[in-house]
Chain A
Amino acid sequence: MKHLNIFTGALFLAVLGFMCCNNDSVGSSDPDPAGPSAPVASDVELYVTTGHKTMLFKQLPLDYCENDPMSPYEIRLRPEERYQEIVGFGPAITGSTGYNLQKMPAADREKILRECFDPEKGLGFSLIRMSIGGSDFTLGEYTWCDQEGIDFFDVHPYDRRDVFPVLKEILAINPDVKIIGTPWSCPRWMKVGLDGVSEYNGWTSGRLNPACYEDYAEYFVMWIETMESEGFPIYAITVQNEPLNKGNSMSLYMPWEDQAAFIKVLGPKMQARGLKTKILCYDHNYNYDNVAGQENYVVKLFGDEQASQYIAGSAWHNYGGNVSELDNISTLYPQKEIYFTEASIGSWGYNFSNNTLGEFESIFLGTMQRGGKGVTLWNFMLDENGAPNRPGGCQTCFGVVDISSEDYSYASIKRNSQYYDLAHCSKVIEQGAVRIATNDTQITDVKYMAFENPDGSYAFVAVNRGSDSRKLTVNDGRRHFSYDIPGNAIASFRWGKNE
């Protein structure tokens, strides 16, 4: 019989535990979180990211359980109850992103683009957003028609130089990527002052001159047609980025009354030209920026039947208010689509754990719970200084990934919280997947959501905001598996492919 001393044993375990924790803390200080781990063969694809970075989109083996599925805490999928179809997840491809990407050696650029957009071996990003003309992350302020007269419309050289080549590479890797286009400002010659009548010639603020509605509608149509002729099909446009924002490096104040009036011109013109591109309205914050008279901006637009007939849905940002505002929209207008189109991270209060978990819950689960069909985040690649950026725009933003401006190498890429959030959805939820119901088993601190992919596989994403691990047992009616999701972690599952 082997005898040990209890204090000795306990202290040994304590010391061992301390050393493990110490290893964790070393991991958490890693300045350069890794990309996807090597594929693992098992029944269930499982990817895990923890808030303290012990696992960063790490793939773990997980097999189906052989026990009888008797768990009272089991989450049972109910694929017969179906909700919205998912369009995808991805970043904004801005001029700054294109600039940085093209600074990379070609092989390195292909590597990061394949890592993110390849639907088989990569994360399968399938929805991107880009600006129509300049934004606060381009190499200047511009539109595609800066000289007065719509006849002067042409591709701006910055976009042809910075954005088009990158778009071509992305679409070559994943032809199913869908593009949402958004203007930050109309051409300045189409603007009037905030009073609606006075002359105005700034990039920032101003309103759309009603006398230019026809020209501006033509501008949108020509932009879509030009992009498509260049090989870039446009899935949707939003009428104006942040229409209630009078600041930024480029902007246009477009209250709901203006947007409704303009859509009544834009919609018929797009239809007349045979364009299938969707029109999304609003594209701004949940709280309507607290602008008097602009509360329920989207509801007011949808309530205007003449405008609403051309509007496929609404787009949202999270810089103000709460995602619960979408309850209002999805309840009142369930037939209208919902997209989350912009959230930024930056040096203001950034915390990997809080940002990764909190935004996964509020942006991804929060919007999809309310009918959201896709998420785009702002924006794909910046350098370590948050550049290139524009005066008056964001100087302290992080990209989905950041790259060193010293060598623009793949090795220098730092993956931020948004990268992992996008990865956890995009890797397991395919474009065309349908959100399905579950039996809504309540698990403390855990929020989750289930989907059925077009290939018949199931996807399941979960976030645990508590500090304790929680057991998840998921049953699709034929198979079930269990996994102890760590505290402060996201886990994504996909299984049943080709079975």
Chain B
Amino acid sequence: MRKMKTFMRNMAWGFLAVALAACSKDPEFETTDVGPVLEKIAFDERASMGDIITYEFRISDPLPLSTLDAELYFDNDLVASASLRVKSDGVYRDTLSVPFYREIPDGEATVVITGRNIRFGETQQRYKVRVERPDFDHLTFVMSDGEYRMDRIAPYEYAVTDDFPQKAKGYIEAPAFASGEKITFGWDVNQVISGSTTQIPFSQSNAGECTISFNTLTFAASPFTKLLFNGEEMSMVDNDNYSTVTMLTQGVQYEISGIPDFGSWDVDRDFFERGDESQPGVLTFLPMSGQYKVTANFKHNYLKIEAMKSATELAVLNGDGSGAVWVIGGKSVGKPSLNNSYDWKPESGGLCLARIGSTRYQLTLVGGVSIDTKSVDFKFFHQKTWGGEFGGGKITTTSETFVAGETDGNIRLAAGKTLKAGYVYRFTLDVTPNATDTKLSTAVLTVEEIEGELPAADLRVNGQAMTQSDLDNYSIDLDLEQGAEITFSGADMFEPAWCNPDFFDAVSQTPRLVPVSGKYRITANRATKVIDALVLNADGSDLATLSDDGHGAIYYIGYGLGSPAAVNEPGWSEKKGICIPEYAPQIYKITAQAGQKGSTVLGQRFRVSEWSGKFFKGRNWTGITPMTLAPGTEKLLWINPDGNNLEVAPGVELEEGATYELTVDLTGGNSHPVITFVKK
């Protein structure tokens, strides 16, 4: 080791000698230990947190100058810095931003001003700055639809009392300083921070009068709805999820509070049973006692329960059959509904089975609601991730409806089998170890089918109940008169997010039918809150087609037009053709906004560019050709001679968000369609 050290030391001195010889005469590498002359012209000796410190210095040096730097220290910590390039002697002015941290007391901070020349000579001067937290006269709570003045009610404490929605999201803004600087307070993960305009998710139990408050010293803000499970506050995981880990005992009642509409929430029936309807938050725990994580999910309005091994670790299947079994699958299973299904993503879509016996686990799904009725694919795992699994040869079932894959253990529908919408399918997995299977490598699956009905919602049109076709979709066929009022009602009728304007006039409070009198199928989707319609033929047996005399309905097939949003364009799939109603005899019209390709904004049905489509007499390939463009339309559209498709004119892009009207006029006969396209 000593020899090695000597060798390395000699090498270092050798490098030093070479460097000295090589560089000693090169002026570019000369250095100096003398810095520029610094003279303070102006300096803010007091500053507010959130404001700026202005400084002005005269700097001079016989050598070329480099920079005038400033650093602000709170205690020994650098909290802000600024660097100004200075090329020649003179007076320079710059500013330092003073951070606005929570709970930092007023005090003397230090600013270090450093002047540098290009030969690395530097001069430093240190200045004390009295930094204080501003005690604003008021703050402003900024919501997307308005601003509210928050009065100062105590030092650093501000509040506003007003009518607010149940979720009052907004950020807080302080009055501008004299310098023009303005500090804002917004949300970051689960706390308020300065310098952010991300909306703070204030919330209260019910919409109505409430006081929103904020403290600029502690950054404490309120109100945030307290969710209590069995008296313990649930912790906010993110904006949509609150959870708690707790011991749950079989047969014991627990109460959740703080969710105003909890009565409409889905409670996992494998784990909890609701009792009295007048107390929807009172739940009886059904599986074996143990430690569980209870998560209130506000995105899907349901209560998720997962078995835990510890306060922080999810349970796994233990060697004696205790612990937990998990299902991971494709989008064919999801709780509380298929709207919350994931494509083999265990962290999001893993489902915990309820332990109903020492070695028996249960998963209950409802056809059309939480399990696809036509295609099923999932697998049982020992943990909520990849690893131990009941794969090929490790799981058997006597079910006639489901099969366990011989090679992969995946649970699928047996050949020719489908599930019945609304029926309950209860999967019970027995993982009892036996003498030759002490490592729980095999399991027996039984599936019970229980007759049931989908819980139909009460949706009505003109007083008549709509029929449920699957979980979220409802429809009704009606004879309607052009201009007649159409009433949407029923206990579960929703405020539509979008109502097709080609069918329903949104001008009046009560919608009226826009197209000509006839038979229509009105559809409602509870998930997307879209109300739409289709034109039916005279006897209502099928969708309308274009009759030889130019009446009925026409369909757009191709790219460029989707409904209810551009993302829904049919492409060259005739079964998805967009139905365009007869606005006036032999005239068909569609009105929509323009949106980017793939836009999911409801109503943005025209793509801003890259159309390619045609009109057809039905959801088939009977075309309406040859198209002619009405005068003026050629500025926006053209008929591409290569294929005779309707396209946006070369070099044209529709204005995103603007409304356009597309009319197909067949008054000259079905073989003389005239296309008009105008910006409204």
Contact = CB atoms under 8 A, between A and B. Distances in A.
Is chain B a partner of chain A in the same complex?
A: yes
Interface of A: 1-9, 11-12, 14-15, 18-19, 22, 26, 29, 65, 67-74, 290-293, 295, 324-328, 330-332, 439, 471, 473, 480, 482
Given A8-B20, A295-B323, A67 B313 contact: no
Given A1-B34, A12-B16, 13 more contacts: A4-B31, A7-B23, A18-B8, A67-B76, A68-B75, A69-B75, A71-B77, A71-B104, A72-B99, A74-B75, A292-B433, A293-B319, A324-B310
A473 B76 CA distance: 9
A328 B32 CA distance: 63
B320 A295 contact: yes
B79 to A, nearest CB: 6
Nearest to A370: B311
B84 to A, nearest CB: 24
Contacts of A328: 291, 308-311
Interface residues on B, range: 35 or more
B131 interface: yes
9 contacts: A3-B31, A8-B16, A11-B15, A11-B19, A67-B76, A69-B107, A292-B318, A324-B312, A327-B313
B32 A471 contact: no
A291 B9 CA distance: 58
A259 B74 CA distance: 57
B12 to A, nearest CB: 4
B76 A5 contact: no
A15 to B, nearest CB: 4
B216 interface: no
Contacts of A73: 77
B32 A2 contact: yes
A7 B22 contact: yes
Contact of A1 (B19, B32, B99, B433): B32
A15 B310 contact: no
Contacts of A290: 319
B245 A15 contact: no
A70 B104 contact: yes
A68 B105 contact: yes
A332 B312 CA distance: 12
B595 to A, nearest CB: 42
Contacts of B131: 70
B120 interface: yes
A8 B24 contact: yes
A292 B319 contact: yes
B50 to A, nearest CB: 13
B31 A482 contact: no
A19 B9 contact: yes
B156 interface: no
A70 B109 contact: yes
A98 B323 CA distance: 45
A291 B439 CA distance: 11
B76 A295 contact: no
B378 interface: no
A94 B320 CA distance: 36
Chain A facing B: main interface SS:
mixed
B320 A293 contact: yes
A287 B45 CA distance: 61
Given A70-B74, A72-B74, A6 B30 contact: yes
Contacts of B16: 8, 11-12, 15
A292 B320 contact: yes
Contacts of A70: 74-75, 104-105, 107, 109, 131
Nearest to A76: B103
Nearest to B433: A292
Among A3, A290, A293: residue with most chain B CB under 10 A: A3
A453 B540 CA distance: 86
B196 interface: no
Interface string B51-92: 000000000000000000000001111010000000000000
A22 B23 contact: no
Nearest to B15: A11
B75 A482 contact: yes
A4 B31 CA distance: 5
A71 B72 CA distance: 11
B299 interface: no
B487 to A, nearest CB: 55
B247 A332 contact: yes
A292 B433 CA distance: 10
A328 B308 CA distance: 9
- 8 smallest CB-CB distances across A and B, nearest first, come from A68-B107, A328-B310, A292-B319, A70-B74, A71-B75, A327-B311, A15-B12, A6-B29
A83 to B, nearest CB: 16
Contacts of B5: 22
A12 B99 CA distance: 39
A291 B323 CA distance: 14
Interface in B301-338: 308-313, 318-320, 322-323
A475 to B, nearest CB: 9
A59 B252 CA distance: 57
Contacts of A324: 310, 312-313
Given A15-B16, A293-B320, A65 B75 contact: yes
A295 B75 contact: no
A272 to B, nearest CB: 33
B85 to A, nearest CB: 20
B323 A15 contact: no
B320 A5 contact: no
B15 A3 contact: no
B101 A72 contact: yes
B464 to A, nearest CB: 55
A295 B322 contact: yes
Contacts of B312: 324, 327
A151 B45 CA distance: 86
Contacts of A15: 12-13, 15-16
Contact of B77 (A295, A332, A473): A473
B154 interface: no
B108 interface: yes
B497 interface: no
Contact of A7 (B29, B79, B120): B29
B573 interface: no
B452 to A, nearest CB: 37
Contacts of B105: 68-70
B507 interface: no
A41 B76 CA distance: 23
B32 A3 contact: yes
Contact of A72 (B1, B22, B30, B79): B79
Given A2-B33, A15-B16, A72-B101, A331 B310 contact: yes
A18 B74 contact: no
Contacts of B103: 439
Contacts of B645: none
A12 to B, nearest CB: 6
Contact of A5 (B1, B13, B29, B323): B29
B672 to A, nearest CB: 73
Contact of B76 (A4, A22, A26, A65): A65
A489 B109 CA distance: 30
Interface string B92-122: 0000000101011111111000000000100
A19 B8 CA distance: 9
B528 interface: no
A3 B74 contact: no
A69 B131 CA distance: 12
B438 interface: yes
A330 B322 CA distance: 21
Among B8, B16, B74, B120: residue with most chain A CB under 10 A: B74
